[in-house]
Amino acid sequence: MAPYFNIIQSLCRACFSSDLDVITHQIERLISAYRADGNIDEAKALEKMLNNAKNKEVLHSSVITFSSCLQGETLTPKTIIPVDKETSAPILDVIYVDELPSTEPIFDTFIKEAVDSVILEWSNYDKLIKMNATPSRSCLIYGLPGTGKTHLAKWIAKQLGLPIVLAKLDGIVSSFLGTSSRNIGNLFAFANRYKCILLLDEFDAIAKLRNDPQEVGEVKRIVNTLLQCLDSRDEIGFTIGVTNHEQLLDPAIWRRFDVQIEIPKPSPSIIPLLLKNFITPLKYNEAEISFLSWCIQDCSGADIQKLSNWLKRMSIIDEYKNECLYHLMQRYTLLNTGRISDKVKEIITKAPDDIYASLKASSPELKQKDIAEIFNMTPSSFCKMIQKNNKE
């Protein structure tokens, strides 16, 4: 029998019946078996996975107690949503917990740790209050468009087991003169009444008005109302502000947020992870992922998602499905000139060996033979071409 087959068999059975206790027990058996056989690295790797999963479980179970200790009524689909008095358009949307994303956004470790610390603090809200410590209750997430900020805000709410009250700021601000402040007041009154996270997405919609000289008086009124509302909400519930243009925000508003997290574009080590995440069920090998990552250096997470969807579409179109990745990416570059960096645009139209040189500089571990496939060449003809061009 193959090594540990009996344990793996029991583990599979436990997985199919979704019995977490048995799954944990079988993994612990596997760790002991590995350790006894001297496979220490494998035992440690499994142990780390198990501990991570257990920590998440602790986080998850604290969520349930947490949302039940927060003051306020529970939102239900029957709850009446406030509307703008002039236009009758709703001034907010409610996003219930089961509609929130359950996939964690993928960020560099230091961002992930900052986000985890906010979630941990907010999920220990009741304990902090008992200790007379004031937990932070507002968080501003800012950074370039498409970097996953809205996704992150929703995911935080999901982790806390709270629905989101999403302010329709564009509608609120463009409403008739004088009604914007009333709408903001109604929005906060609604959020304060229910157990929820108030999400002020595209928060800069309010700030943008400042550039319009005809709106000066109105903007002052809106900003003042907003400041008052943010101050009074601070005692009551959680608020997340999201903006792409943090420099447009009034400094007084900016200061109201206890925590401020900047989300940067994905770093070179995160791009392949995002690609692998979005590209499923398509399968690419490591060399192909490195090539795609090189092509979309400097792109946002949303751009990576867009490329992945495009590759999926190409994979089912008969005319393109057998095309090599190099030609596909040349075409994608021509169709997305605003997304692809100038450096890549310049090189991608050149010969494979030029691309190889640049690719090799960013991913030195790549071997010529692995890259040959991207150009639809056999390893030997690719190597010959590189050698010939190096001699010339």
Ligand X SMILES: Nc1ncnc2c1ncn2[C@@H]1O[C@H](COP(=O)(O)OP(=O)(O)O)[C@@H](O)[C@H]1O
Task: Name the minimum Å distance from CB 147 to ligand X.
Answer: 4
Give residues with Cβ within 8 angstroms of 30, minimum separation 6.
Answer: 4, 7, 8, 11, 46
Which of ligand X, Mg ion, none lies near 105, with the C-beta cut-off 5 to 8 A by kind? ligand X
Task: Name the minimum Å distance from CB 71 to Mg ion.
Answer: 29
Cβ atoms 124, 244 nearer than 8 A: no
Task: Name the minimum Å distance from CB 105 to ligand X.
Answer: 3
Which of ligand X, Mg ion, none lies near 237, with the C-beta cut-off 5 to 8 A by kind? none
Which of ligand X, Mg ion, none lies near 305, with the C-beta cut-off 5 to 8 A by kind? ligand X
Give the one residue of 123, 225, 243, 305 binding ligand X; rule: CB under 6 A.
Answer: 305
Contact positions with ligand X (CB under 6 A) in 67-106:
105-106
Cβ atoms 111, 265 nearer than 8 A: no
In whole angstroms, give the CA distance from residue 181 to residue 172: 8
Task: Name the minimum Å distance from CB 292 to ligand X.
Answer: 16
Q: How many residues bind ligand X (CB under 6 A)?
A: 15
Q: By beta-carbon distance, which residue lies closest to Mg ion?
A: 150
Give the one residue of 34, 107, 326, 382 binding ligand X; rule: CB under 6 A.
Answer: 107
Nearer to ligand X, 149 or 195 (CB): 149
Q: Spell out where the chain has E strands.
A: 92-95, 138-143, 164-167, 197-200, 238-243, 259-263
Contact positions with ligand X (CB under 6 A) in 129-168:
145-151
Cβ atoms 242, 138 nearer than 8 A: no
Contact positions with ligand X (CB under 6 A) in 253-282:
266, 274
Query: What is the layout of strands, in order, in the sheet containing 197-200?
Result: 92-95, 164-167, 197-200, 238-243, 138-143, 259-263
Cβ atoms 143, 262 nearer than 8 A: yes
302 binds ligand X (CB under 6 A): yes
Give residues with Cβ within 8 angstroms of 139, minimum separation 6.
Answer: 118, 156, 238, 239, 240, 241, 257, 258, 259, 260, 261
305 binds Mg ion (CB under 5 A): no
* Other Cβ atoms within 10 Å of 139 Cβ, number: 24
Contact flags string 126-155 toward Mg ion, x per CB under 5 A: ------------------------x-----
Nearer to ligand X, 163 or 301 (CB): 301
368 binds ligand X (CB under 6 A): no
In whole angstroms, give the CA distance from residue 333 to residue 330: 5
Residues at the contact surface with ligand X, assessed by CB under 6 A: 105-107, 145-151, 266, 274, 301-302, 305
Residues at the contact surface with Mg ion, assessed by CB under 5 A: 150
